[in-house]
Structure 1
Amino acid sequence: MAYLTNLRMFVRVYELGSMSAAARDQRCSPAVASARIAELERHLGLRLFNRTTRTLRPTEAGRTFYDGAREVLEAVSAAEARVREDADALRGTVFAAAPLGLGRRVVAPAIPAFRAEFPDVHVRLRLTDRVVDMATEGLDLALHLGPLADSDLKVRAIADCPRSLVAAPDYVARRGMPADGEALVRDGHDCLMLRFPGAQEFRWTLRTPNGPRAFAVQGPVESDDGDVLTGWALDGLGVALKPDFEVADHLAAGRLVRVAEATPPDPVPLACLSPARASADPRVHVFAERMIAACRAGVAVGAPS
């Protein structure tokens, strides 16, 4: 097992580009991580990384060895998955991430039932509306709401989540009911934007009779937390673009109303992402299955009829 442990450390150092980051990922000290790489290099009789005080770069041999090492670890994970058919055999920790709204409303409430079924599987759940870097953050699984960039991650489509433009009734009474995206821009409606540091000009892509069109909306406030935007919309600060499952209760109770319904936003795809190294792990696979089922049930609410 020591050799496999060293292989796992090598793969994480290679992927993260940092001995200290890989040590954190593998729950050990940087000294232990360095010792494992040194032991692997002695076994192979060659250097896998060129190190300086500030940089760590794979050698040509390291780049070649990485592909084979990852294949070995994936094969071991797959073999373990085949023999762990009994739920009692599932143990360890799953590191997962989800968007804030989805995590609070759907994923977190599903964790107690999962833990009751698999008490030896621990869950470390991170909630953020930012796009996570799974390799850097050492995640086994991420629930992703939005378009996907090309990657080597394993992707499982979950659902297309309906979305709406919403505002509080008092905002509409004060500013008027925008009929469409054109009115949002023309009449200077306050739009509540989900934006992160470094984001450029913000646009909402809405469906028009002539096809999708990006509208350069503006507003006085913005946040990187989708639930903050919902709160601001409820307070009458402006118009928010929200997945329906996040605002279904508010719409049903009349605390929010749909606006600009002539040009609605397209549904947003929800997917489950896993690195290849994690997707074959039985505890990750079972956790993903339970969360995907919970998400499919949880996001299928609040869609306009």
Structure 2
Amino acid sequence: MSYVETIKTFLRVFDLGSMSAAARDQRISPAVASARINTLETQMGVRLFSRTTRSLAPTEQGRVFYDGAQRIVEAIEAAEAAVTDMTRSPRGTLFVAAPLGVGRTVLAPEIPGFKKLYPLVDIRLRLSDRKIDLTAEGLDVVLFQGNPPDSNLMLRRIGEVERVLCASPDYLAFKGQPKDGPDLVAHHDCLNLRYPGAPEFQWPLQTPDGPVRYAVSGPFESDDGDVLTTWALGGYGVVLKPRHEVAEHLASGALVELCTRTPPPPVTLGMLFAHKRHRDPKLRLFLDHMGPRIAQALGL
């Protein structure tokens, strides 16, 4: 195995904090990944990771080596791009993440078409409704839905996504329709998206005095937005969702839109990526391919 592949394995282990996770990403066994790290450590005469049966963490030497290793891989990729017509035949792997709803229904169905056009590019897709740290998790691009973060990441904007508050007719027959934000807070069960590190629940509404955030609560929480929709359909509370994710249920009457005079403000849908990656041909082609198709699918 080449030294470059060994370095790539080191980078994935560092980014993901797990030998097994890095092995899955690289389609190798954990034993092979561990052997590559051991070989690298033997060649360098230092420990790059502190390992126990339950945890793995980079050593000080590992952290120093990480920056140089990244530059090595980036330099090799840049050199390959310089001597190969990468816009016609890009190659390599893209690590992509997206929210569950739009990831399952819109992004995932478009990936085989991209692969057909660019057969030498592999896609590793992760779907999660939790907040994702692109840099820490070693991702190339994240399909982002929310308020754009203030960071050094670049955002390829796709459009503004309309959001709605909604609940089932059975829930409304029992609880009544919320009149405004204070009524929502005081008298209604709100179904909230909760994941490790999530901020306190605050639902924003557009009012005559401007946007106001209301601290809401309820009996059920989940880190899966589709589960919240299922609970709302079952009559267990009010849910805040992107309109496109509940449009079918609103059209059928299974869910009823609420607070239409003070609706939630829209959020940005776009693709986040690191500034240093914007010249990567395969990433540019992915952005160019996916952006218009996602916009068309969602009517943005």
Q: TM-score when scaled to structure 1?
A: 0.78
Secondary structure (helix, strand or coil) at the match of 2:212 reads: strand
| Equivalent residue, structure 1, for 2:110 | 110
Amino acid at match of 2:58: R
1:101-133 per-position Cα deviation (integer Å, ceiling 9, x unaligned): 102221123234324333444444332222235
Distance 1:93 1:51, change over 3 A: closer
CA RMSD of aligned residues (A): 3.5
Superposition map of 1:1-305 within 5 A = 2-37=2-37, 39-40=39-40, 46-47=45-46, 49=48, 51=50, 53=52, 56-60=57-61, 62-85=62-85, 89-134=89-134, 139-147=139-147, 153-186=153-186, 188-196=187-195, 201-274=200-273, 280-300=279-299
Q: Distance in 2 between matches of 1:281 and 1:181?
A: 45
Q: Distance in 1 between matches of 2:212 and 2:143?
A: 27
Secondary structure (helix, strand or coil) at the match of 1:89 reads: coil
Distance 1:17 1:128, change over 3 A: closer
Secondary structure (helix, strand or coil) at the match of 1:179 reads: coil
1:42-75 per-position Cα deviation (integer Å, ceiling 9, x unaligned): 66x5526264646553334x44433232122223
Distance 1:39 1:233, change over 3 A: closer
Kindly indicate whether the alpha-carbon contact (under 8 Å) linking 1:205 and 1:265 is maintained by their aligned counterparts in 2. yes
Aligned-pair identity in percent equals 51
Kindly indicate whether the alpha-carbon contact (under 8 Å) linking 1:14 and 1:58 is maintained by their aligned counterparts in 2. no
Secondary structure (helix, strand or coil) at the match of 2:293 reads: helix
Deviation at 1:242, TM superposition (A): 0.9
Q: TM-score when scaled to structure 2?
A: 0.79
Secondary structure (helix, strand or coil) at the match of 2:158 reads: strand
Q: Distance in 1 between matches of 2:152 and 2:11?
A: 15
Amino acid at match of 2:11: V
Amino acid at match of 2:223: D
Q: Distance in 1 between matches of 2:226 and 2:51?
A: 44
Distance 1:66 1:115, change over 3 A: closer
Q: Distance in 2 between matches of 1:176 and 1:248?
A: 22
Secondary structure (helix, strand or coil) at the match of 1:296 reads: helix
Distance 1:65 1:233, change over 3 A: closer
1:11-61 per-position Cα deviation (integer Å, ceiling 9, x unaligned): 334434455544444333455445444554566x5526264646553334x
Deviation at 1:100, TM superposition (A): 1.6
Q: What stretches of structure 2 of length at least 5 have no aligned partner?
A: none
Q: Distance in 2 between matches of 1:139 and 1:27?
A: 16
Secondary structure (helix, strand or coil) at the match of 1:205 reads: strand
Amino acid at match of 1:57: P
Q: Distance in 2 between matches of 1:50 and 1:175?
A: 55
Q: Distance in 2 between matches of 1:138 and 1:237?
A: 38
Amino acid at match of 1:217: V
Q: Distance in 1 between matches of 2:110 and 2:143?
A: 14
1:242-268 per-position Cα deviation (integer Å, ceiling 9, x unaligned): 111112233344443321123221212
Deviation at 1:181, TM superposition (A): 0.9
